[in-house]
Structure 1
Amino acid sequence: MDNRLEEYILSHIDPEPELLKEIDREVHVKLLHASMMSGHLQGRLLKMLTRMIRPERVLEIGTFVGYSTLCFAEGLEENGEVHTIEIDDELEDFIRSNFAKSELANKIKLHIGDATQIIPEFEDESFGLAFIDADKELYWKYFEATLPKIRKGGFILVDNTLWYGKVVEKVESSDRATQGILNFNEKLANDDRVEKVILPVRDGITVVRKK
């Protein structure tokens, strides 16, 4: 996106909360791969979608630093909760520190470990919304594990489904991340259990509704 257009958009949507600004600054100073964080535009979109869907429970696969988690928590009703799963235990202290600074911390349940092992522990159809933003090679596996946990009419949001535009380029066989995204997109396109649309926001967000 043209920088001027991006600046225009960000100046005409709801402002980024101060805590999220602080997290953004800290991530860019302390961590590699800061681009993995949702950021202002996507964060406000995640909050808005949560407001629209009004789930009682949200499942997030891939916490990273907790930025998107806090956006989901913002959008929840008073008694709602977010269950977020992060496989990198080295991030745990940083994540918990970010959550502890928020008045929404009581709505968040952090799980450290392999999502493919943790997701089956939840009851079927116990979530109204899920967000997949983790290992790209495992996207379809995450999706298949998540779908039974989503209530009928519930939604799954899948991040990075345009993957820097690589989905329309020639892909090297060694590029497993892009192959994983392509595999996911192709399988989802032919999956009649769900309705789906790709939004060209940031790096692509696919919105999936369970029939």
Structure 2
Amino acid sequence: MERRLEEYILSHIDAEPDLLRRIERETHVRMLRSGMISGHLQGRLLTMLTRMIRPERVLEVGTFVGYSALCFAEGLEDGGEVHTIEVDDELEDYIRSNFSQSEYGDRIKLFIGDALQIIPGLEDEGYGLAFIDADKESYWECFESILPKVKKGGFILADNTLWYGKVVEEVGSSDWATQGILKFNERVARDERVEKVILPIRDGITVIRKK
């Protein structure tokens, strides 16, 4: 039933652009962690949310192969920018190749390095939208670093906040990723600086609005 529902949903939303479909297919062939890619449904959601929010700049932590960055860039108005940060320098050439094939690639600026070192050097309250999809153990620290960079009334999207359903299961003492997601979810839920809602789409996306 779940697979049939997914197929039904994908057949009743906007089609996945050809370049993104090719990137997704190549990622599943080339990458060990191919499940990290946003994919058709989430990608169309990210583009739609960007069009709704209409940010001048988007900050993304966790580029991977560039799929989600291209979705944000697609949703921007002329003159908008995506600043995306990827820690794995071995992915840089592949990411830049993907960006160069897109009509929206010139809207994206790629940073390679540790996000927690790069983010403090970015302009305060310079972003209308941010996306966290990186190291799960440091989600909370990443959020705290990003929040001052987001405009009042701006949004932060946090991916994987249901973490394969592990958030409602017993957590092993060495399962640092699940512990990181749980810490993030619990602290955001209590954080009075922001409004928040979890969308049970794919692996869970938390939509956070800075008050």
Shorter-chain TM range is over 0.9
Within 1, Cα distance between the matches of 2:24 and 2:158?
A: 21
Tell me the amino acid that sits aligned with residue 174 of structure 1: S
What is the alpha-carbon root mean square deviation over aligned residues? 0.6
Task: Give ranges in structure 1 of 5+ residues lacking alignment.
Answer: none
Matches within 5 A, 1:17-28: 17-28=17-28
* CA–CA distance in structure 2, aligned partners of residues 113 and 121 of structure 1: 13
Q: Deviations over 1:156-179 (max 9, x none)?
A: 000000000000000001000000
3-state DSSP of counterpart to 1:153: strand
Aligned match of 1:115: 115
Residues in 2 aligned to 1:33 and 1:11: alpha-carbon distance in whole angstroms: 26
Distance 2:179 2:173 in 1: 8
Q: Which runs of 4+ in 1 moved over 3 A?
A: none
Q: Cα deviations across residues 67-111 of structure 1 (Å, max 9, x unaligned)?
A: 000000000001100000000000001100100100111100000
How far, CA to CA, are the matches of 2:184 and 2:165 in structure 1? 15
Identity %: 76
* TM-score normalised according to structure 1 size: 0.99
What is the DSSP-based 3-state SS (H/G/I as helix, E as strand, rest coil) of the residue aligned with 2:110? strand
Q: Which amino acid aligns with 1:112?
A: I
Matches within 5 A, 1:58-73: 58-73=58-73
Residue 55 of structure 1: SS of its match in structure 2? coil
Letter in 2 for 1:11: S
Distance 2:188 2:172 in 1: 22
Counterpart in the other structure of 1:83: 83
Q: Give the Cα–Cα distance (whole angstroms) in 2 for the partners of residues 89 and 72 of structure 1.
A: 22
Specify the code of the residue in structure 2 equivalent to 1:32. Answer: L
Q: Tell me which residue corresponds to 1:131.
A: 131
- State TM-score, norm by structure 2: 0.99
How far residue 25 of structure 1 moved from its aligned partner, in angstroms, is 1.0
CA distance in 1, matches of 2:29, 2:150: 37
1:12 to partner: Cα distance: 0.2
Specify the alignment match of 1:180 in structure 2. Answer: 180
One-letter code of the match for 1:5? L
> Quick one: distance in 2 between partners of 1:86 and 1:123?
18
